[in-house]
Chains A and B, each alone.
Chain A
Amino acid sequence: MTPTTDTHADEGTTLLVEPSALPARTRLIRSLLRSRELSVAIVLLLVIAAAALKSSDFVFSSDGWRDLLLTPSILLLLAAGQTVVIITRNVDLSVGAILGISAWLTGEVFTSHPGMPPLLAFAIGIAAGAGLGLVNGVVVAYGRVPAMVITLGTQYIFRGIVVTWAGSSLISASQMPDAFLDLGTRQILSIPVLFIVSIVIVAAVGYYLTTARSGRELYAVGSDPEAAVLYGLPVSRRVVTAFVLSGALAGLAGVVFAARYGTVNSGAGSGIEFQAVAAAVVGGVAISGGAGTVWGAAIGAGLLMTINSALPMVGISEFWQQALVGALIIAAIVLDRVLAARQARQLIEARDEA
């Protein structure tokens, strides 16, 4: 990418905006201060602080600390996957159903093979999710149909499959090996293992999106699909990649769900797709594609889940949690709009001065 911009500059094309004269460190600090991730993180810290002031157990007891980190773990994974899909200007409404299938599959596999190593369960769950994501991706990319409709349809199909398969039965903790269930509660240096898994995954996806060529191309596909085609990017393949990634992460989330809660029924993860989209939107991922980071989405997921448990602490009935989440989403997109308008104005001013 860099060589092309360089040659443009060399050819004497007039640039709209001069390259910044500020030193790199100042620019880094400035962009960090202006970043959406930081502002959401500050809100998250304020929520935690307010709850901790009312009841220090919220953070400083071992149970409180563990729950604070464990509760968002599942949504972190889904939000990361959703971010990748939304960046390509699509949306995946089937992740809740994929989570359900994967969680039930994990239970079933352990019921029929009690001695199976837990790691294999993770692999099976991820593979199943990736397969379902592949179905979504292929239909969306090659059928040339809107992702929202397709994933709405596959949501019905996947959920129908798991409900037909599971019926009204329940897989309980006694049917899963202790080694697996231990993962749900085990801590390393007081940090829950599942939280570490989620953070590592989010970091990996974030690294892929910011550095890998195909990751950068996802942004290009989302910000202008027609231009991406003209430029020669493999748009269909990238869209399939995004859906496979989202499906695989939802599959992983299903295994984590089984490990964390120990019981699985056919309704696991229903409705969580909206929370995943909401986490991404609050975290600054533009629903119109091409912008946003998994970091933002992860912090957004943390905020949504933490508000849930923090509200009773600060004396507000937990029934109001959803209303607050809704207000938060709207505030976040209004903020996006205001910032975008300000940036557009600055760019126009810069052009007029030039």
Chain B
Amino acid sequence: MTAVDTRAERTYPAYSRPLWRRLLLSREASVIALLLIVWMYGYSNIPYFGDTLTLTYILVDMTTVLLIALPMTLVIVTGDIDLSVASVVGLSSAVLGLLVQHGVGMPVAALAALAVGVVCGLVNGFLVAHVGLPSLAVTIGTLALYRGIAVGLLGTTAVTDFPTSWTDQTARVIGSTGIPTFMIVFVLLAAGFVALLHFSPFGRGIYDIGLSTEAAEFSGVNVQRTKLILFVLTGTVSALAGIFYTLRFGSARGDNAEGLELQVIAAVLLGGVSIFGGRGKLPGVIAGVLLIGALSSALRLEGVTVNVINIIIGLLLVLSVLSTTLLAWVSDIAARRNRAKRPTQTPASVGSQ
């Protein structure tokens, strides 16, 4: 007993850092810092980057990714993944289009599209949480299934006769700020998700599941219900993103937003969420999405082609994941050097301090 106690006393003071250092050295802080650097560099060096119109473009461009990244973060923190999100975007878009084409009013059609998202999420959640299948395999299946239903419903046709009173909404901005009005919806949602993940027992349970499902279950977290809720949230928000996407382009197609899932996952991982689960924060993720948006916009204004931008985003993703390993090496080397410098502490010498 006593041996364990002294060891705990010995190790904890040596490794704890002051709060400001922990915050500044966190993964989220480095993403936010990188975002600020890109933004400030672009603002002072790239013509047109500072324009409100550029801000509008960046935000409108990233809205779908921003929206889906919120619930996706929660899912990845539990150690699962949802690859079907882009297909849910396509399916809700197709349902919205079909209903509008058949004369259903927009509000009802939009609600139906949202309901489709709920059902898609329920199917994913049921298969993962209650049947106990790996989420990667399940959502590769539903990726094909939902996309297939969307393409099957609409074929290669596109529905474009949406009321302009609705499509115009996606282009509206708040006063002269250049911030799209729809951002209000995002901010409200983001606040809700931050509260859910970072300030609620439910969110604590999400981290517990990510760290160890067995331990979480043992300590009273309802793992099945949590996973089900998270997949339903992902489906629902993806459907909302699908409605926005459809109205923004004024076109409902079965293949809308194909490949978007990879963008969302790339942004979430760039934002510091561990794919193994248990680690990551929403502010980092939001900064990650905006970083990708600002970087692509800045590079595009500088005349860099989209392909090179994709290479850069890929490199950024690989390096950001590798950085953990690299930092671990660095701190390992530093720790070894420290140990060599300092005389080895014995439990007795710590006790006398």
Contact = CB atoms under 8 A, between A and B. Distances in A.
Interface of A: 91, 139, 143-146, 148-150, 152-157, 159-161, 163-164, 271, 274, 277-278, 281, 287-288, 317, 319-327, 329-330, 333-334, 337
B307 A164 contact: yes
B132 interface: yes
B193 to A, nearest CB: 22
B149 A156 contact: no
Contacts of A287: 134, 136-137
B33 interface: no
Interface string B141-176: 111111111011001100000000000000000000
Most B CB contacts (10 A, CB to CB) among A150, A161, A163, A333 go to A333
B211 to A, nearest CB: 16
A160 B310 contact: yes
A326 B259 contact: no
A127 to B, nearest CB: 22
A150 B148 contact: no
17 contacts: A91-B136, A146-B275, A149-B321, A152-B317, A155-B314, A281-B137, A288-B134, A319-B148, A321-B148, A322-B145, A323-B148, A323-B151, A326-B143, A326-B147, A329-B145, A333-B134, A337-B133
Interface in B200-251: none
Nearest to B83: A274
A325 to B, nearest CB: 5
B139 to A, nearest CB: 10
Interface of A is mostly: helix
Interface in B76-129: 81, 127
Contacts of A320: 148, 151-152
Contact of B318 (A157, A278, A324, A334): A157
Name the 3 nearest CB pairs between A and B, nearest first.
A326-B145, A323-B148, A156-B314
B141 A333 contact: yes
Nearest to B145: A326
Contacts of B310: 156-157, 159-160, 163
A139 B322 CA distance: 8
Contact of B325 (A144, A156, A157): A144
Given A323-B144, A326-B143, A156 B311 contact: yes
A123 B305 CA distance: 32
A297 to B, nearest CB: 14
Interface string B174-208: 00000000000000000000000000000000000
B333 interface: no
A156 B137 contact: no
Contacts of B275: 146, 148-149
B140 interface: yes
B127 A160 contact: no
Given A160-B310, A329-B137, A333-B141, A150 B325 contact: no
A150 B321 contact: yes
Contacts of B276: 146
Nearest to A322: B148
A325 B148 contact: yes
Interface in B261-292: 262, 265-266, 269, 275-276
A153 B314 CA distance: 4
Given A146-B275, A152-B266, A333-B138, A164 B311 contact: yes
A319 to B, nearest CB: 5
Contact of B315 (A157, A163, A271, A330): A157
B257 interface: no
Nearest to A166: B307
Given A152-B262, A160-B311, A274-B144, A145 B321 contact: yes
B321 A153 contact: yes
Most B CB contacts (10 A, CB to CB) among A91, A155, A160 go to A160
